[in-house]
Amino acid sequence: MRNEFVSCSFLLLLFVSLATGNVAASHMDDDDGVLLLPRQKEDGHPSSHMGMHMAMGMDKDDILNPAAKVFATIKDIVVGKTMPIYFPCIENPTTYQFLPDQKTHHIPLSSEHLPELLRFFSFSLDSHQALAMKQTLKICEMEAPKGEAQGCVTSLESLVDFAESIFGPDSQVGVVRSSLISKSTPVLQNYTVVEFKEISTGKLIACHNEPYPYAVYYCHFQWGTVNKVFMVSLVGENGDELNAVFLCHMDTSSWSTGHIGFRLLGLMPGESEICHFFPAYDMVVVP
């Protein structure tokens, strides 16, 4: 609610080439050092940026969660087709933008340093911010499963380094994100496909924003998997337009039958690709 500088604008399509010096996220030029965690919603529900985590969960009741309405297949992406889709409204986009590297590179991103980090950010041990930081650090420190690469990035520079370690040095690195929805746009409503285009096939890195006092993205990549990314232009029932990132996992044969995507779409592993729309705070990194 506080910072409205890009909040709730439509058609903010960020498809930029980091290598040419454009940046996906503008820098927060505060010199007063105020770094705020995304706030919990007053009603006690997890804040909206947790939506995807809930949607990717495996709980039996998850399919009733409106935030799970992000799954579809490529067949669903037909001009003129209408379907309900959930897009969280982001109240403070600055929380999701990288700080300049020189501001964060000296701050340790490690559980070992949690006590001093909490002191640095003035969060008490039992605050929800402390819990969120603890969980984020745990995610960042997870061991990558075989055949996967993962890690947390806290700046554009570290994002490009991570991407180059996978795509190869000197590769052009592009970032795609969904546009923001307006505060007056229902988070779940019917959208009609206006237009779509495929952006990339093959190697891609998915990066998810994790709650932290500054922008931290957990990025992961799987060797040997085929993915497709589409940019889909949608118009909502209320007339709002947005461009959404639509990521398809082409081979689902090794996925668990209980995956929420299968249950929502009534499909079985390997029967079809599973795709999902990305919320605006997450990003897909492509060569």
Ligand X SMILES: *[C@@H]1O[C@H](CO)[C@@H](O)[C@H](O)[C@H]1NC(C)=O
Interacting residues toward ligand X by CB under 6 A: 84, 188-190
111 vs 190, beta carbon nearer ligand X: 190
190 vs 225, beta carbon nearer ligand X: 190
**Residue, CB closest to ligand X:** 190
The minimum distance between CB 242 and ligand X, in angstroms, equals 15
The minimum distance between CB 274 and ligand X, in angstroms, equals 21
The minimum distance between CB 185 and ligand X, in angstroms, equals 12
65 vs 190, beta carbon nearer ligand X: 190
**Among 142, 94, 126, CA closest to 280:** 94
75 vs 81, beta carbon nearer ligand X: 81
Instruction: Evaluate whether 222 touches 124 at the Cβ level (below 8 Å).
Output: no
Tokens of 272: 């079809």
The minimum distance between CB 46 and ligand X, in angstroms, equals 21
Q: How far, in Å, CA of 80 to CA of 87, rounded?
A: 19
**Among 5, 203, 31, CA closest to 102:** 31
121 vs 191, beta carbon nearer ligand X: 191
* Long-range interactions of 48-54: CB distance < 8 A, separation 24+: 48/88, 48/89, 48/90, 48/91, 48/187, 48/279, 49/88, 49/90, 49/96, 49/209, 49/211, 49/279, 49/281, 50/211, 51/86, 51/88, 51/279, 52/208, 52/278, 52/279, 52/282, 53/208
The β-bridge partners of 274 are 249
The minimum distance between CB 190 and ligand X, in angstroms, equals 4
111 vs 189, beta carbon nearer ligand X: 189
Q: Other CB atoms closer than 10 Å to residue 274's CB: what's the count?
A: 24
The minimum distance between CB 84 and ligand X, in angstroms, equals 4
